[in-house]
Structure 1
């Protein structure tokens, strides 16, 4: 059985995934990318992802948070070779309905310099946090989230991606997804909310949702083994892969 390449699409920070942390998926071919900078249009991000998979005969798109929207934007195009889709912590259309919150997001996106580092990123880290972040294989904190953005995300890119997310809407195209789809949902997610997963689950044909208990929006970082194991089980159950998850030991015990 041919093993498709797992293509890991980054979150809002734009940073490539840390593949070494995904122990249960270690037997699979994987590749990731860095998001283009200062891009305010979701279709342009989808173009960048399409370029990453252009040489692959078979692949699975795995998008986390902002990356889930990018993966969805590419999946509705039905690219040749796409065998599966995993969306975690994402949405089909901007889930923020409050005009006040939308205005706040746009204001944060315009912040630069000290305001960006001390106000926008601290507020964003607060919105990303959950009470379960410290319980995972790699305990996570608000400071870790802020540092992720400080290290990887210029203010211009933060602002541009906020615009792209606020304007994205693939609700009317969900039925165009033609591959097995896993919607991976954290149990606690103030930033996105549970309704977003419901829209995806009901709109994508034959999609399945798995809720990971005692996890938050940053579960790819705080619970990488739990997260990856759910994906490995999905790949095997849908006969996208014949490879069983690796033993729970090894890499994560060495971190």
Structure 2
């Protein structure tokens, strides 16, 4: 069975905030079927998140997983299972293992994950937003700021869920399973990324057999928010070049 149309469903997996994607500025993808997910709350295990997405796509025979940051690792965790109907994988700002190499920041993240109330709102979210920031955030199609990043988490992410997702991030490890991903994979990397850095993209690019990395110049970790046009255009090109005429993996014959 070969699909020569644009009927593949794009399944968008949220970042650490857990909030469904805002795709209103994704003009390059507007004619494609999409499914937006919201992450379950207070789940601290990456495999459980992969189970959640697996359940969410169980009725689909033809789909691409698109994950951003924490959501990219969820997409990867499901992709290594080679699920039925998976045709491609897109990961932006993603990683196959804990990307934080600094002992200080690893300890700080664990500590921040336990904070609640005012400490979470005024210390954790400010520190997290600062590490997400890039000097290019203000020049995108949607000028972004640390205040906007804080707002996203303040409105969508309970402290318990933030802490649980940090625990999941620090514990998950898929480096030794990357070769199980046999579908075309796009790795979108921002030019400037303090919170993740360059090394995780190289690990995934080298480990996934059919992976391509595209670095989006003058973008930061929040490029899905600040540069939605640039971001969605890169995904649309990947879909047109690598997905739209490919056979469905594991689909019913």
Deviations 1:10-33 (A, max 9, x none): 000000001222110001100111
The counterpart of 1:115, out of the listed 119, 123, 136, is 119
Q: Which residue of 2 aligns with 1:158?
A: 162
CA contact (8 A) 1:11 1:63 kept: yes
CA shift in 2, pair 1:105/1:89, >3 Å: same
Are 1:193 and 2:197 counterparts? yes
Q: Quote the offset at 1:241 in angstroms.
A: 5.9
Q: Which residue of 2 aligns with 1:251?
A: none
Q: Judge which range, 139-148 or 97-106, deviates more.
A: 97-106
Q: Which residue of 1 aligns with 2:59?
A: 55
The counterpart of 2:225, out of the listed 199, 221, 224, is 221
Q: Which sections of structure 2, spanning at least 5 residues, go unmatched?
A: 247-253
CA contact (8 A) 2:132 2:195 kept: yes
CA contact (8 A) 1:235 1:241 kept: no
Q: Quote the offset at 1:233 in angstroms.
A: 0.2
Distance 1:92 1:241 in 2: 28
CA contact (8 A) 2:88 2:243 kept: no
Note the 1:1-255 alignment, pairs <5 A.
1-2=4-5, 3-240=7-244
Distance 1:192 1:199 in 2: 12
Distance 1:77 1:240 in 2: 22
Distance 2:16 2:121 in 1: 15
* TM-score scaled by length of structure 2: 0.94
Q: Quote the offset at 1:239 in angstroms.
A: 3.9
Distance 2:79 2:26 in 1: 23
Q: Quote the offset at 1:95 in angstroms.
A: 1.4
Q: How many residues align?
A: 242
Distance 1:147 1:96 in 2: 24
Deviations 1:86-124 (A, max 9, x none): 010010000112221111000110110000000000000
Alpha carbon RMSD of aligned pairs, Å?
A: 1.0
Aligned with 1:57: secondary structure? coil
Aligned with 2:88: secondary structure? strand
Deviations 1:24-70 (A, max 9, x none): 00011001110000000000000111111111110000000000000
CA contact (8 A) 1:130 1:189 kept: yes
CA shift in 2, pair 1:241/1:13, >3 Å: farther
Q: Which sections of structure 1, spanning at least 5 residues, go unmatched?
A: 243-255
Distance 2:243 2:73 in 1: 24
CA contact (8 A) 1:4 1:241 kept: no
